[in-house]
Amino acid sequence: MAASILYSSALALLLGLVRHVAAVVPVLQTTTHDEGCIHLPIVHSTNVNFFSNKRGVQLQLANRSDIAYYAQLSIGTPPQPVFVQLDTGSFELWVNPDCSTVRGADALFCERIGQYDTSKSSTVTSLGTSKMLKYGIGSANISYVTDTITLAGTSTALRNVQFGVATSTSDAFAGILGIGYGMGIATKYPNFVDQLQDQNATRTKVYTLALGSKDAREGIIVFGGVDTAKFAGKLARLPIIPAERSPDKVPRFWVDLKSITLTPPSGVGRVYEDSARPVFLDSGSTMTLLPRNLTAAIAKDFGADEPDANGFYRIDCALTKMNGTLDFAFDGVTVKVPYKELTREVPTNPPMCFLGIMASDKFTLLGDTFLRSAYAVFDLETNSIWLTQAANCGSAPAALNDINSLSLIRGTCGPATEPAATVTLPSSAVWISVADGAGESDLAGPGGRDDVRSIVAALGKRCGDGERFGVAGRAASGSWYMFVGMMCP
């Protein structure tokens, strides 16, 4: 649910005048894609490698563009690059916000994300239908079209994808890529995630989200696969609560939260009362929303007794340098959010800091202030969220051939002494190859599809600074195979 937080602050922080210049949209480059998956960079708007650091005449606490996450699509023929906000809480793709409806830094950023011009595409088709989309903040009146969407770093081009072109918007600084449920559940047509599988760009209807830390300012989304270099250990499976049993009766990514615990630098933790409840994961929300009493209790422990007139809790910026965490416990996994990642920092002189949690009587959701510290797999085939603590030890996106592989995958980040993922392989496995610094050895057997269908799609093992790689798949004969290797220095 994009921009779920109700910002109405009039607090304007003057950063200096900048002269308006015409927008030049950078085209992102990605590495070669593994067959069966598509991975795109997730870019934070403060990343000066992609967006100018001259944000506009003002930066306001009310602005949202500076704390949102974007991916780039190339739309039409020839391709027109457009940045869109990633949103796990909505379901549809639309582009072309009206930048005149936002102010300050949001307005200037809006002009830099790119616009899609239907008159310049030879493959566009107007469907003659329209719709109004409403969000927690803002709305968009859209007209539906179909066109080709080319994905950066690959020859994959999705044909005849339906999406919206805005005819008018209110309080919207970017188009939105809704990656929630699609056809037959939340939409009446195949949405972007549906099309990826329908057009064989992915083998599974799964995507994984690693937003990246505030310092990194960049992450990755992998459609149809995982990136084992973005987490350590195993993934915990959390069933998605069906819409009919969810708090708002909408098919979102609702899961059961068991508890929230504050772990300060002293190590003496405090479990908050009434913190067990359903929550949904929403990358389109910059903040985390919790019930009023729970938010007030957490804010008090961060030194904020009362919110300001707009609902923000101002806290001491010194907290961002402390080693404390706010810990979110689920069934089988706890995600520890460092104080720094939980804080929204406004770069004034001196800086101002605000708790990344706000009170809400309407929604209970975990937004970007939580998701930066989590590695999340959105499994739309078995209606599950696979979750663990985020880490970063490189880049290793790879395709999933079988949804059952998720229970076997292990992240490769962690101490050098940490063992690699342990998988008990059947003695009849078709082909297993394991390489080490001394050479390569092969094992073979007469097995078949049913023996090894759940073997992990991509496995790696740490080997100093060496490269790790792994592939599982089905040969032309129909047999299944697995190859795991590493290139050691």
- For 163, the token pair is 């999406």
Which of 66, 87, 147, 368 does the annotation list as catalytic? Answer: 87
| Residue 34 annotated in active site | no
Instruction: Let me know if 256 is a catalytic residue.
Output: no
Query: Are 9 and 61 spatial neighbours (Cβ–Cβ below 8 Å)?
Result: yes
Catalytic residue among 147, 282, 402, 451: 282
Residue 347 CB coordination number (10 Å): 13
349 C-beta neighbours (distance < 10 Å), count? 7
Kindly report the three-state secondary structure assignment for every residue of the chain: CCCCCCCCCCCEEECCCCCCCCCCCCCCCCCCCCCCCEEEEEEECCCCCCCCCCCCCEEECCCCHHHCEEEEEEECCCCEEEEEEEECCCCCEEECCCHHHCCHHHHHHHHHCCCCCHHHCCCCEEEEEEEEEECCCCEEEEEEEEEEEECCCCCCEEEEEEEEEEEEEECCCCEEEECCCCECCCECCCCHHHHHHHCCCCCCCEEEEECCCCCCCEEEEEECEEEHHHEEEECEEEECCCHHHCCCCCCCCEEEECEEEEECCCCCCEECCCCCEEEEECCCCCCEEECHHHHHHHHHHCCCCCCCCCCCCEECHHHHHCCCEEEEEECCEEEEEEHHHHEEEECCCCCEEEECEEECCCCCEECHHHHCCEEEEEECCCCEEEEEEECCCCCCEEECCCHHHHHCCEEECCCCCCCCCCCCCCCCCCEEEEEECCEEEEEECCCCHHHHCCCCCCCCCCECECEEEEEEEECCCCCEEEEEEEECC
Q: How many CB atoms lie within 10 A of CB 391?
A: 18
Query: Which residues are tagged catalytic?
Result: 87, 282
